[in-house]
Amino acid sequence: MKKILAFIFLISSFANAQNIVNATMSPTLKTDWVILYKIEGATQKFVQNSKIKIDTIFIDGKKQAVGNFSFTLPENTEIGAYRVSYKLQDAGFVDFIFNKENISFHFDPNNPNKSVVFSESKENIVYKNYTDAVTEAQQELNTIQVEFLKNPKSKLKSKYRSALKEVKKVQQKYQNLSNGMFVNSLIKASEKNNPSEIIAYTNAYMSNTKNTFFDNINFADKKLLNSPFLVDKITDYIFFMNQSDNKEMQTKLYKESIYTVLSKIKELTFKKQVIEYLVGQFELSKNIEVIDYLLQKYRGLPYNIKNNSFLSEKISLFATEVGRTAPDFSWREGNQPYRLSQLNGAENYILVFWSTTCSHCLREIPNLHAYIKGNRNVKVIAFSLENDKYGWESYKTNLYGWHNVLGLNKWENKIARTYNIHSTPSYFILDANKKIIAKPEGLKDVKLFFD
């Protein structure tokens, strides 16, 4: 009997040591998977996965489907910020703080951040209530400020002071309420340094907002480092606090804001992660100049911190984007050596990667030859990706007037890999200096460029 009681006590103790994360969602999703990650710096670490189950409930006499899922967290689960992800794209996630307590919440998967409501977990309830309350108070203050900027003669100074007092009241209330909690660091760092008096000029207002943006943020605080907070703030600062309609000025502002952010980060692993994150963001818009700036900063990291594979991959990925000088290569035509960078006598060059084993190429390449024939301002370098030379040697006689280059090993050809060639035909249009000025999708686009 003693052994049975001891066993029951052991099981009970183990169960009590665990914590449960329960969640419900409506409407439901077509997918049934959900993944739990721990947020570490600017990265996510897989923790476990679960399945979304569908229940049917009655609301006002009508059936409604509700999805639910749960995670059981063992005793040794680290305190910190976690992310429940249920979509591969868009904002398909809910973040929460785990601090050795059960967590329950409900949300709309189509609008998770605004809709999430925590019913269990003091940490998350306090933090969500804070963000809702301070956002409402700050929006009221901002509205008064904007109205004054539009009409500096309006009598809003007293109203501004009252709204500012309310913002400070909310901030102080939740700093006190969260004392000793994990979210206290997040709440303190969220405090905005609003001007004590209303500002009359737009430039002065924007300058103050930008210059005080990071005033209350401690980039060495590990609680902030291992939460979405810092990455979200960095994203807001770079992409929303620094805007210009002029392309050159926008690039300049991006670089300046990146410099400001990186100068504040002393923790080198986090700095590495932030640069990698930002490269990914600017990769979406193919902003090569800013990416180059970021990779320059990445190269300056200590050898044991930076990921040289990441660096090599990104350098290779962006080597053939519009604006780059085309990677150089050499070949022979009979006994005559040639090099791409040394070709001259044309205003433009078409570099086309093709293959005699590609049926689409066999239809398109003759049409390209007929189209370019007689145009002395354009020269063509036809780089043929082949497993052997026999078919190519026979076919190239039809392509007289072109520079015909044989690339053996087909997709594994070194030059093809440098140019990130994954399909044929692939076109690059170069200027006289061999700078890539266009990457047409097909012959139709080539014609549109020159016509």
| Per-residue model confidence as pLDDT tens digits over 331-382 | 999 999 999 999 999 999 999 999 999 999 999 999 999 999 989 999 999 9
In 275-402, which ranges are E strands? 330-333, 336-339, 348-354, 378-386
Residue 339 sits at φ, ψ, to 5 deg, of -140, 135
Which class for 198: exposed (0-12), middle (13-18), buried (19 or more C-beta within 10 A)?
Answer: buried
Arithmetic mean of pLDDT, 204-227:
94
Cis peptide bond N-terminal to 27, omega within 30: yes
pLDDT tens for each residue of 88-107? 777 799 999 999 999 999 99
3-class secondary structure, 336: strand
Burial class of residue 376, CB neighbours in 10 A (0-12, 13-18, 19+): exposed
Mean pLDDT along residues 250-256: 96
List of residues 6+ apart from 253 with CB closer than 8 A: 242, 243, 244
pLDDT tens for 60-91 read: 777 888 999 999 999 999 999 999 999 877 77
The phi, psi pair for 83, rounded to 5°, reads -135, 125
Phi, psi values for residue 305, rounded to 5°: -100, -50
Q: What are phi and psi of 70, to 5 degrees?
A: -150, 155
% pLDDT > 70, the chain? 96
pLDDT in tens, 263-275: 999 999 999 999 9
Beta strands in 398-435 (DSSP E): 403-408, 426-431
Residue 434 confidence (pLDDT) above 80: yes
Question: Are the C-beta atoms of residues 79 and 100 closer than 8 Å to each other?
Answer: yes
pLDDT at 56: 82
Cβ–Cβ under 8 Å, residues 417 and 408: no
Q: Where are the alpha helices (DSSP H) in 58-121?
A: 112-115
pLDDT at 16: 58
For the beta carbon of residue 390, count every other beta carbon within 10 angstroms: 10
Q: pTM (2 decimals)?
A: 0.81
Distance separating alpha carbons of residues 355 and 407, to the nearest angstrom: 9
Is 359 in a helix, a strand, or coil? Answer: helix
Q: What is the mean pLDDT of residues 16-28?
A: 89
CB 366 within 8 A of CB 398: yes
